[in-house]
Amino acid sequence: MPPSIESLELPPFRPRFPWWGADLQTVAVLWNARPTGLEPHTSERVCFPMNDGSGDTLLGMLDTPVAPIEGRPLAVLIHGLTGSESSFYMLNNAGHLLDLGFHVLRLNLRGAGPSRAFCREQYFIGRTADFRRVLQLLPSKLTGDGVAAVGFSLGGAMLLKFLGEDGVFSPLCAAATVCAPLDLMRTCRHMMKNRNALYHRYLLSHLKTEATGEGAALTDEERANIRNARTLWDYDAGFIAPRHGFASAEEYYEICSPLNYLAEIRVPTLALAAKDDPWVPAEFYGDFDWTTNAALVPLLAEGGGHIGFHGEGKQPWSDLAVGRFLEMACCQSQ
């Protein structure tokens, strides 16, 4: 059984100055900056060649704690849309887990961040085979105490799909998601509302740059479709869906939405979200009856925006929640 919310003994989320309100919590992730290093912990580059005939290689950063604690699993972090190993939330969460004695792997999905130059293809939520391949390639010296995973936003959606696909056969001992979109179609429509115009423009611009970057193998038609996309829906309809065998954006969203996979998850999984998330409305989490699956632990904070959670103290509140959940789900069961 996974730990209960009560057993985590988390303080209530309270935003700190000046990050008041959902939008400031959200943009703080973009405005804030921190060094790419995680001193005094150490980091090294690792590579994961894919075996699908593409020749693509995913890159990651393996972080070793200065004071590792025996029995703590490797924690694999998966970034969100247009993110990478050096995203603010990835570094924050990695630093916290390293302080708790976990080894951490910050993974760059196919075509993201440092992986871009070494990949012809591009990540999308349905590409769970890539994550499965990465787990297979991890050396036994890293996995002896188990493997846990943490997914942020799109990375969280991919992780939930992976967990549902593998069910009781999942190699993970625990998982956590932060602000994962559960219904892709409704989330995309929500992002295209006038209220989110600046966010939408930001994401679409970065998606176009990422998808056409060094290493990408695109047809002239695909480049034109990416360039001419005016919305996230256009991008998925003109590039992601046809590139990966879906008849339409609607079919892509329907097949890959995590809602379709939650019932089959058997790994203790924390699903953390914010009631004021401007990107992924909290009411979408009400589309699933969480009481029907004992492996799932939903946690809806009163605030936090989208992957913000800038509360009292320097560490994001979400990192405290994820750290405690992984400690209890993986470590105390050993």
| pLDDT per residue rounded down to tens, the chain (334 residues) | 788 888 888 888 887 766 777 788 888 776 655 556 788 999 999 999 999 999 999 999 999 999 999 999 999 999 999 999 999 999 999 999 999 999 999 999 999 999 999 999 999 999 999 999 999 999 999 999 999 999 999 999 999 999 999 999 999 999 999 999 999 999 999 999 999 999 999 999 999 999 999 999 999 999 999 999 999 999 999 999 999 999 999 999 999 999 999 999 999 999 999 999 999 998 899 889 999 999 999 999 988 899 999 887 778 999 999 999 999 998 654 4
* Amino acid present at 296: L
- Cβ atoms within 10 Å, residue 67: 10
CATH number of the CATH domain containing 317: 3.40.50.1820
**Residue after which a domain boundary falls, among 203, 229, 256:** 256
Q: What is the DSSP letter of 47?
A: E
Q: What is the CA radius of gyration of the chain?
A: 19
- First-to-last C-alpha distance (Å) of the chain: 13
42-49 and 57-64 strand pairing: antiparallel
Q: Which tokens hold the place of 270?
A: 């924390």
pLDDT of res. 238: 97
**Residue after which a domain boundary falls, among 221, 256, 291:** 256
Q: What is the pTM of this model?
A: 0.95
Do residues 156 and 268 both lie within one domain? Answer: yes
Judge residue 278's burial from the number of C-beta atoms within 10 Å of its C-beta, 0-12 exposed, 13-18 middle, 19 or more buried. Answer: buried
pLDDT of res. 32: 56
Do residues 19 and 164 both lie within one domain? Answer: yes
Please state, in angstroms and rounded to a whole number, the distance separating the CA atoms of residues 142 and 162: 21
Please state, in angstroms and rounded to a whole number, the distance separating the CA atoms of residues 107 and 144: 19
Among candidate residues 204, 210, 135, 209, the one with its CA nearest the CA of residue 169: 135
Do residues 190 and 208 both lie within one domain? Answer: yes
Do residues 29 and 132 both lie within one domain? Answer: yes
Q: Which domain holds residue 35?
A: 5-183+257-331
Helices (H) and strands (E) in the chain, counts: 13, 8
Do residues 56 and 197 both lie within one domain? Answer: no
Do residues 176 and 263 both lie within one domain? Answer: yes
**Residue after which a domain boundary falls, among 201, 224, 256:** 256
Please state, in angstroms and rounded to a whole number, the distance separating the CA atoms of residues 76 and 91: 12
Q: Which tokens hold the place of 273?
A: 């979200």
Please state, in angstroms and rounded to a whole number, the distance separating the CA atoms of residues 310 and 318: 8
Please state, in angstroms and rounded to a whole number, the distance separating the CA atoms of residues 52 and 281: 36
Do residues 275 and 131 both lie within one domain? Answer: yes
- Phi, psi torsion values for 258, nearest 5 degrees: -60, -25
Do residues 65 and 169 both lie within one domain? Answer: yes
pLDDT of res. 236: 98
Torsion 83-323-314-199 (CA) sign = positive
pLDDT of res. 334: 46
CA angle 54, 59, 60 (to 5 degrees): 150
Torsion 286-288-289-293 (CA) sign = negative
pLDDT of res. 157: 98
148 and 76 Cβ atoms separated by less than 8 Å: yes
Virtual torsion, Cα 206, 207, 209, 211, nearest 10 deg: 160
Give how many domains the chain has, as a whole number: 2
Judge residue 218's burial from the number of C-beta atoms within 10 Å of its C-beta, 0-12 exposed, 13-18 middle, 19 or more buried. Answer: middle
Give Cα separations from 311 to 24, 178, 301 (angstroms): 12, 15, 11
Do residues 33 and 66 both lie within one domain? Answer: yes
Do residues 102 and 36 both lie within one domain? Answer: yes
* Amino acid present at 2: P
92 and 152 Cβ atoms separated by less than 8 Å: no
Do residues 164 and 287 both lie within one domain? Answer: yes
Do residues 110 and 129 both lie within one domain? Answer: yes
15 and 303 Cβ atoms separated by less than 8 Å: yes
